[in-house]
Chains A and B, each alone.
Chain A
Amino acid sequence: MKYLDPRIEEMPRTEIEALQFKLLKTLVYRLYSFSDFYRSRMKEHNVHPDDIRSLDDIVKLPFMYKKDLRDNYPDGMFIGGQEDLVRYHVSSGTTGKPTVVGYTHRDLENWAISVARGLTSIGLGRRDVLQVSYGYGLFTGGLGLHYGAERMGATVVPASVGNTERQIELIQDLRVTAIACTPSYMLHLSEVAEKMGVSFERDTRLRTAVLGAEPWSEKMRARIEGSTGIKAYDIYGTSELSGPLFTECSEQNGIHIWGDLAYVEVIDPETGERLGPGEKGELVITMLQKEALPMMRYRIGDITSFEDSVCGCGRSHVRISRIQGRVDDMLIIRGINVFPSQIEHALMSVPELGEHFQIVVDRKGALDTMLVRVELKSAQLFSDKLDDLIRLKNKVAHQLRNNLNVAVDVELVSPETLTRFEGKAKRVIDRRVL
């Protein structure tokens, strides 16, 4: 089965946009009429639902933020009463209050459909056995994949997290063909399998992994696919939007955002202005059909870019790139937005370099300067000619300049000389006194 719902998935772009406009109008009137939060925010921004006369008029509407959800904890932003809800999920905030999400019956249905379309687009179907190794419970990962896979007609193994050896036995015994988990758990799983003498390729039917809920990279994808023979696909979503919602298709070239369910914008996080296809910025999503907890122009804080050309898989829906970082990590160097992930990406393409780097930002006079310190890869054959090292340094500087559009000083350092951090790398030292 190529499509779960060909009518929607192959819908020409103009028709999708017409549908989106209709849904947006309905949403805005509904919010203005029934939500104190949205009505007062729209009034603050001098915008009335009647002002939305085209899809592009969405830019007139105010943004909303994670902070709004916290300020209205637990259910101040819900529309309707508890009797309309059929489920709660709660995400534990790393800082401050958690976020509570409520679902109507229809919300759960749309969530499941969204995931089911995604799983279908990577070639899964009724003949597949999907092991869901995301946590079940208040976290949205487990149940999100669970209901999506069932909706598609696959057989679900609700394994949840932990007990890795048992998980590997289940994969063998139940002839599991696909797994959904975090990328780091996938790596762990393959390490444990190796220790048990189990080869996924030889001893199991596991060929597909749907990975998400934490940041990962193309490098990690190559590592997973290379060591296991399993095709790995990215899945995106956050609990505020419902949970995991959107996946890559078989092309592995961007995550399809179903246009009948969500409207995508990518904005400059500083100015709030909309960016064009391929331009990197902050993801803003409007959920067009969500009932219990609507999301209008929600600034998620994730960095991505969008592509609106028709995908190789035949689907017309907009794609976003793999999440490339958080807005909080963004640096502004001489007025240009720079993300540490871009630097990482540029450095990765130079084989002589190791994985660790550090960014030092300073200001000389009125001018920002950026220095990237990067470790050489250890145990490499290096030429002992200074000229070759200078050439390498210039190559790195050139590569960074091309990727960032900002001049960068480069310092090559020996392996294992930069400070290592537990968990999230604190790679940026900003010495500017602003």
Chain B
Amino acid sequence: MTYTITQISIFAENRPGRLAAIAEALESENINILAFSIAEASGFGVIRALVDDPERAFKKLSSLGYVVSTTEVIGIKMHDRPGGLREISRMLGDAGINIEYAYAYTGRPNAVLIIRVDHVDEAINAILSKGGQLIQRTELA
């Protein structure tokens, strides 16, 4: 079972229309965006997205000249109810996992917290041993 999910990250300067252009490029390839987040600093940002076909998305965006990379992230299933995030956060804290960044989406069948950590395998083992549930790669495709 593979618990890591391939996320694509795209460099984008803060300019109107940038996100739309990226979304349009993916749409033209029939690639579905499941979740995304935008991280901003002064003047530029990184768009991170979970898509149903990261490999094809990477190829498409690279061919258009975007600076793109792929990153392995983990998706932790959350209860879609008040307190769901608190439970998971406490568990991650207890496991001593250092989170680089995180973002969430609520969808079927679960709400999911996406996290990026430095030591992926250690984090997966820690979460599973604490009884956490992770989404699998196959669930997104």
Contact = CB atoms under 8 A, between A and B. Distances in A.
A433 interface: no
Contacts of B9: 382, 384
Contact of A415 (B67, B71, B101): B67
Mostly helix, strand, loop or mixed at chain B's interface? strand
A389 B44 CA distance: 9
Interface stretch (A13-21, A112-120, A294-302, A373-381): A373-381
B67 A376 contact: yes
Contacts of B71: 384
A72 interface: no
Interface in A386-434: 386, 389-390, 393, 411-417
Given A380-B67, A414-B66, A415-B67, A386 B13 contact: no
B65 A378 contact: yes
Contacts of B77: none
A383 interface: yes
Interface string B87-107: 000000000000011000000
Mostly helix, strand, loop or mixed at chain A's interface? loop
Contacts of B67: 376-380, 382, 414-415
A379 B64 CA distance: 10
Interface string A360-384: 0000000000000000111111111
B72 to A, nearest CB: 11
Nearest to B46: A384
B41 interface: yes
A166 interface: no
A380 to B, nearest CB: 6
B41 A382 contact: no
A415 B66 contact: yes
A7 interface: no
Interface of A: 376-386, 389-390, 393, 411-417
16 contacts: A377-B67, A378-B65, A379-B62, A382-B9, A384-B48, A384-B71, A385-B46, A386-B41, A386-B45, A389-B44, A389-B46, A390-B41, A412-B44, A414-B13, A414-B18, A414-B66
